[in-house]
Structure 1
C-alpha cells in the first residue's frame, strides 16, 4: 500500500476519533446538570482557551434556580415517579375551576420560567399544576434524557391530578415539555381532555440538529454522532425517540403552536407533527414574530386569544 494512502487513512482515523470524543463530551454536558454553587462564567468572561474548550467539548449546564415570584396562593408538593424520582411542583388551587392544566417546561428550565403561562391559565379559570422535570429545578436527579425517562414525569403528574379530580385535564408543554407529552401519551395511553404543544421537536436527532444550528455548527455528521453518544451514555437507543411518530397516537383536541423565527425547531418538523396527529380536532397557530421562546411573553394578545378560544371551545 502506498505511504500516502496509509497517511491519509491515519489522518481520517484520527479525525473520526477526535470527532467522536468531541460529540461524546458535548452529549454528556448537554444531558447532565450540575449544582449551582456559584454563578457560572459567561462566554464573554472566558479566556480564549476556555472558549475553544467549550466550543469543542461543551460546557457544563447548571440546574436553573427556581424563583418563586408567582404571587398567587399555591402549594409546594412532591410527586413520586415510577422510576424513583421526586418531582417538585406548584399546585395553584382555583374555586369553581373548569379543570386542571398541567405545565411542563423546556430543557434546562423549570416551573418558574412558566409563571406567565401559569397566571394566564389561572385567570382563564383553571387550576394549575406546574412541574419540574427530573434533574430540573427542585426535583431530584442529575441527568436529562431529553424525553426518554421524562415520560414517567408526565405520567406521574397526570396520575396525581387524575386521583384528585374528575374534572377535565389539559396538558401543556413547551419544547422538551411538548415533545415529552407526545411520547408519554403514546407510551402510557394517557387520555387528557386537551393538549397544548408549543415548539416540540420532531425527533431527538432533529433536536440535536437544532442545538448545532444555534452553535453555528454543521448538522451533518455531527447531529448523528451527538444523538448516538447521548443515547449510549444514558443507556437507550436515541434514534428511536420520535415525537413526530408518537403524534399518531393522539386523538384528543390539540393546539400546536410554533414561532416562525425558530432556529431550533423547523417548520417541516412542525408540519410533520401536525400532519401525523390522529385527532379530528387539531389546530396549528404560527407566531410570525417569535423564535424558540415563550410565545405568550413575546406575542401576548395573539397567544391569549388563541389559547382561550381553544380551551373554551366545545368539541
Structure 2
C-alpha cells in the first residue's frame, strides 16, 4: 500500500510538472501570437486594386514615415472607372437624403487601423466606400504586423500617438490640411483608434470603432477557453495569466493595461460603436460597455444583426458602410448643443 501511494504521488507530481510546462509553453506561444502574429502577405484582391486603382475610383500613393512606418494615402478620383462599391455606397446615401459631394472631393482625412494579424492593404475595399463619400484615407501598418519593421505591438499603448505623427507627415508631404481628421478601426484597430482619440483629442473630429474589446485581458481569456479542451477549462485563468506574463516579457505590457473602455470615457467628440450580435470572440456586451462610457451626446451604437467577429463588415455590408459614411459626414457639422456653444464661448 505504501508503495502504491508513493507511485501515485510521483505520478501526481509528474502530471503537475507536465501541466506547468504546458501552461508555460502555451503562455509563451500565445503571447508571441498576441504581440507579433504571423504577417500576412499581399492578397490577390490587394494586388488587383493596387494594379489599377482608378478602376476602383481610387488614387493610391505609398510612402514611408520618418519612423519607417509603411503608409498608403488613398484618395478618390474625379473620373472613376467601374467603382462598383463606391457607386453603391453613393446611391444608398442619396436614397437616404444625404448630400453626396462630387467624385474626388476630400472633405477630411480618415486614419484607419486594421484588425489583429492584418495589414494596411486590407482596408483598400473600405477606402472605395469612404473615398466615394468624400474622404481621403490614410492607411498604415502597425508595429509587429504588415510590413512594419518593429517586432512587437502593444494594441495602442505605444501606438496611440502614431496616428497623429503619420497624419502630420502626410499633410506636409502631400500638402493637404490636417483637419478635419477622423479615426476608424476594427477589432484591435478599433482599440487603437479609441486610445489615439483619447490621447490627442484636439487632433480628431470623430472616431468609429467596429468589433472592439473593452479590455484586452477578456479576449485573451476567451482565447484560452478556445485553446484548451473543456475538461481543462479550470486552467484558463492560469493560462491567460501565463500569456500575460509572456506579453509583459516580450513587449512590456499586461493585457489588462489595454482598456479602450477607459479611453472612451475621455471622448468629447462624435463616437460610433458597431458590433455583431453573433460575435463569439468579443461579446457585444463589451461594445455596450464602451458605448456607455462615452460622455458625448453625439455617440451612436450600431448592432450588426447576425455579424460575427471576422465577417462583421461583410455581414453589415452596404447598410453598415452607409451608416459609417453618414456618421463621418455628420461629424463634420458643428455641434448645435448648448454645451458645445458654452465651450466655444
Report the equivalent of 2:185: 173
Query: Within 2, Cα distance between the matches of 1:151 and 1:69?
Result: 31
Query: Within 2, Cα distance between the matches of 1:28 and 1:113?
Result: 22
**What is the CA-CA distance between 1:173 and the residue it aligns to?**
0.4
Structure 1 window deviating more from structure 2 (298-307 vs 196-205): it is: 298-307
1:19 maps onto 2:23 in alignment: yes
Of the three residues 251, 255, 266, the one matched with 1:238 is 255
The unaligned stretches of length 5 or more in structure 1 are 34-60
Matched position secondary structure for 2:306: coil
Per the normalisation by structure 1, the TM-score is: 0.79
Higher RCO (CA-CA < 8 Å; seq separation 6+): 2
Query: Within 1, Cα distance between the matches of 2:218 and 2:293?
Result: 16
Of the three residues 177, 188, 209, the one matched with 1:197 is 209
> Relative to 1, partners in 2 of residues 1:124 and 1:247: Cα closer, same or farther, differing over 3 Å?
same
The unaligned stretches of length 5 or more in structure 2 are 77-103, 336-345
1:91 maps onto 2:73 in alignment: yes
> Relative to 1, partners in 2 of residues 1:184 and 1:116: Cα closer, same or farther, differing over 3 Å?
same
Query: Within 1, Cα distance between the matches of 2:162 and 2:311?
Result: 22
Structure 1 window deviating more from structure 2 (177-186 vs 91-100): it is: 91-100
**What is the CA-CA distance between 1:15 and the residue it aligns to?**
2.4
**What is the CA-CA distance between 1:271 and the residue it aligns to?**
1.2
Of the three residues 66, 69, 73, the one matched with 2:48 is 69
Matched position secondary structure for 1:286: strand
Aligned Cα root-mean-square deviation (Å): 2.6
Query: Within 2, Cα distance between the matches of 1:155 and 1:312?
Result: 20
Per the normalisation by structure 2, the TM-score is: 0.73
Query: Within 1, Cα distance between the matches of 2:191 and 2:11?
Result: 45
Matched position secondary structure for 1:265: coil
- Equivalent residue pairs, number: 283
* Residues 101, 127 of structure 1: 8 Å contact kept: yes
1:257 maps onto 2:274 in alignment: yes
1:248 maps onto 2:265 in alignment: yes
* Residues 228, 238 of structure 1: 8 Å contact kept: no
Matched position secondary structure for 1:289: coil
Query: Within 1, Cα distance between the matches of 2:188 and 2:23?
Result: 26
Q: Deviations over 1:162-182 (max 9, x none)?
A: 654143111000111100122
1:129 maps onto 2:138 in alignment: yes
Of the three residues 22, 29, 32, the one matched with 1:28 is 32
> Relative to 1, partners in 2 of residues 1:68 and 1:139: Cα closer, same or farther, differing over 3 Å?
farther
Alignment of 1:52-63 (within 5 A): 61-63=38-40
